[in-house]
Amino acid sequence: MKADHKKVIRNLNIAKGQLDGIIKMIDEDRYCIDINDQLNATRAILAKVSDEIMEAHFKNCVKEAIISGDDSKIEEAFHSLKRR
């Protein structure tokens, strides 16, 4: 993986902490909207991580593949983006 490891791990740890907090909120039978707000925040961080990884993929792996004449990395990346 060519993305900034420290940045990716930091954001994943934040998301992990948020998930632990959401589980606690559910166990405490907290207000649904508050839980949903936290779920949305977690989703946003995970989207940010995904964007970081895909940007690095395009700038490195896809670029290298195109230079070498291999267009398969482009299709692979687009298929991955479609699965979001």
Domain that holds residue 76: 5-82
- Check residue 2 and give its pLDDT: 84
Question: For residue 53, which of 81, 25, 17, 18 has the smallest C-alpha distance?
Answer: 81
Considering its fold, how many domains does the chain have in total? 1
> 71 versus 51: which is more confidently predicted?
51
Give me the helix-helix angle, 72-82 and 32-57, nearest 10°. Answer: 180
What number is the average pLDDT over the span 19-31?
98
Q: Taking a C-beta distance cutoff of 8 angstroms, is the pair 57, 77 a contact?
A: yes
| pLDDT of res. 8 | 96
Once rounded to an integer, what is the mean pLDDT over residues 33-37?
98
Per-residue confidence (pLDDT) for residue 77, from 0 to 100: 84
- Give the pLDDT confidence score for residue 81 in this predicted structure: 83
Q: At 40, which helix (H) or strand (E)?
A: helix 32-57
Q: What is the pLDDT of residue 41?
A: 97
Query: For position 33, which CATH number holds?
Result: 1.20.58.1000
